[in-house]
Amino acid sequence: MGLFSKLFQKKDEKPVVQERTVFNIQIGDIVEYDLHDYEVVGKITYRQGSYEWIAYQMLEGDNIRWLSAEMDDEVELGIYEKIVLPVSQPFPKELKYKDRTYYLDEEGEARVVGEGRSKNINGRITPYADYYDDSEEHYLSVESWGSENEVSYGYPIEDYEIKIIAGSI
């Protein structure tokens, strides 16, 4: 009788949706920011030694933004957009963009894990450089992907400025 009761018992269990944080956003989730709803379509996890940070590719229509999340002494979040700015290697000590001077803060190489639209870069190692202006409220990030150096402009945000809506379990 035990076998039949297990086979025919009513299952009322519903899947539990994992609460989202800036460190476990999934492809298909929605991020609300600045009165816009972005679908997360890509994710890149960067690792340099034991240090790790994440960038989420967010899409609203044709508008692409990146949400960067890292845990240093505290959670640090930033919004980035790709810009056109010629940069070559070795990375310079200073960059100029829109009447601001940006100073090299750090550079190195990171191994990346890509998901979603970013899965084609999975396992690669990318040289990178981060720059800040005098106010430290504006950033430039440079990543080298083979023969192309990609530059993004960013700025810090606070976690209360975004809302994450799970698109899956």
pLDDT by residue (tens digit) across 25-69? 999 999 999 999 999 999 999 999 999 999 999 999 999 999 999
Expressed as residue numbers, the domain containing 143 is 16-165
Q: Of 140, 32, 125, which is closest to residue 78 (Cα–Cα)?
A: 140
Give the three-state DSSP class for 8.
helix
Percent share of the chain, pLDDT over 70:
89
**Residue 126 falls inside a structural domain:** yes
Report pTM: 0.88
Peptide bond into 90 cis (omega under 30): yes
**Number of domains forming the structure of the chain:** 1
- Asked whether residue 39 is assigned to any structural domain, the reply reads yes
Residues of the chain with pLDDT under 70: 1-17, 169
